[in-house]
Copies of this chain bind each other. A is one copy, B any other.
Amino acid sequence: MELIQSPVELRARLVGAASVGFVPTMGFLHDGHARLIERASQENERVVVSVFVNPLQFGAGEDLSRYPRDLARDQEIAEQHGAHLLFHPQASVMYPEGFTSRIELGGPGEGWEGASRPGHFSGVATVVLKLLNLVSPTRAYFGEKDWQQLAVIRRVVRDFNLSVEIVGCPTVREPSGLALSSRNSYFTAEQRERAAILSRALRAAQNAYAKGERLSKRLLDTARMVLMSERELTLDYLALVDENLRPIEVISRPEGARLLIAACLFGVRLIDNMPLSENAHA
């Protein structure tokens, strides 16, 4: 596997490839990323992983400077799981002096993370469009862990007429249920166990749904009950939304519905999401 910093070199390396799979990441790779890379290598001739902690998607006071980084380890993991190229550009290359362009989206970027992190999805959409234009992949792979981000990216691809196929891949979890995230590295072992409460809350709502509950409010109350047992947790939002990220009141079409949660725990902001029923998405 080759480490590449220059966009021009990256393009040169991909000339003539029959198919290119692309896994954009912010690095500090975990098993969730590994699954994306494996899938990309099953479905494409060449696989590019990018590692870029995108300053544009961090707000003032967020964790840009302390976001975990370990390029040597990322190289090993990417190579082990089938990547051919690891693209690691400098911020000054991605955003040269005088860079002022942004993508602004309404629609799926409004509300939830978009409301809690102003400018976040604009930064995500901008860097993803840049990276997709640079790599020109056949397919790009994203984790469902960032559910709203996935909807935003699908929208960018549609609205700006990119020809890439966006592949969403299931969230990978620890045995406790905690969704894998590079930010989990902020936790001590004990805090990490306790952070599984987000997934337990969503599972409780799933169980209520399985038992026949169809009112969104009651499902969410069930999840909220679970969350109350953790006094260190500050809930940001807990919602049941449709495929356009709009709140659902009564469940009529469960297929596109998604439970979303964001909360702060031990000073770390966590998000998670689940379908109403795991089987519906199996």
Contact = CB atoms under 8 A, between A and B. Distances in A.
Interface string A89-132: 00000001011111111110000000000000000010001110
Nearest to A110: B100
Interface residues of A, number: 29
A208 interface: no
A156 B104 contact: no
Contact of A160 (B100, B105, B133, B244): B133
A134 interface: yes
A227 B136 CA distance: 50
Given A99-B159, A101-B125, 15 more contacts: A100-B105, A100-B107, A100-B159, A101-B106, A101-B107, A101-B155, A101-B160, A102-B105, A103-B104, A130-B159, A130-B160, A131-B161, A133-B133, A133-B160, A134-B161
| A interface: dominant SS | mixed
Contacts of A215: none
A71 interface: no
Interface in A134-181: 134, 136, 155-156, 158-163
B100 A130 contact: no
A163 B133 contact: yes
A93 to B, nearest CB: 10
A156 B98 CA distance: 12
19 contacts: A11-B163, A96-B158, A98-B244, A100-B159, A101-B103, A101-B104, A101-B106, A101-B125, A101-B155, A101-B160, A102-B103, A102-B104, A103-B103, A103-B104, A104-B104, A131-B161, A133-B161, A133-B163, A134-B161
